[in-house]
Copies of this chain bind each other. A is one copy, B any other.
Amino acid sequence: MSSAAAAAAVIPFDALIEHWQGHRRLTRRMIERYPDEQLWTFAIGGMRPFGQLALEMLSMAEPTARGIATGEWETTFERTAMPKAEVLRRWDESTQRITEYWASITPERLSEHMVAFGQFPGRAYDLLLYVIDNEIHHRGQGYVYLRALGVEPPPFWER
């Protein structure tokens, strides 16, 4: 393989955001299905309850889109319990803002090297892939919690 081929980009800009938003739709369905009374209390093996994982996702998603778009990297480590309806409200709000930030990101910008939140260096697309991977990882954890609670999770392949 030539180095030109190795460097050729393969995933289209609009496919990447659609891939991300598809995962966010699935996670939203997952939060919706989670029993409100267990969101901040139930956990397995000393891990965090799903409410905290959902807030971690929120603290990474929109802040990363904003960071890539504007160069301003700010987030929150607040993980205080709140009603599920409020988590969903924040989820929808951040989905909307991600769409707005995305509109000001160029394909060139996504290849730039930057430092996320003052401590994670990488190309913007790698930082974004990490955010998506982290969401899938913790959502997978949430699937086990849901099953342990006797609730059927949404199908993984539906986006």
The chain A residues found within 8 Å of chain B, CB to CB, are: 1, 5-16, 19, 23, 44-47, 103, 106-107, 110-111, 123, 125-126, 129-130, 133-134, 136-141, 143-150, 156-157
Contact of A136 among B107, B140, B144 (CB under 8 A): B140
**Set B6, B110, B139, B146: member contacting A14, Cβ < 8 A:** B6
With a CB–CB cut-off of 8 A, which chain B residues contact A6?
A: 12-14
Report the minimal beta-carbon distance from A11 to chain B, rounded to whole angstroms. 4
* Residues of B close to A125: CB separation below 8 A: 10-11, 15
Sample of 12 further A-B pairs with CB below 8 A, known A10-B125, A139-B140: A1-B103, A9-B13, A10-B107, A11-B11, A11-B129, A15-B126, A19-B126, A45-B146, A47-B143, A136-B140, A137-B140, A141-B141
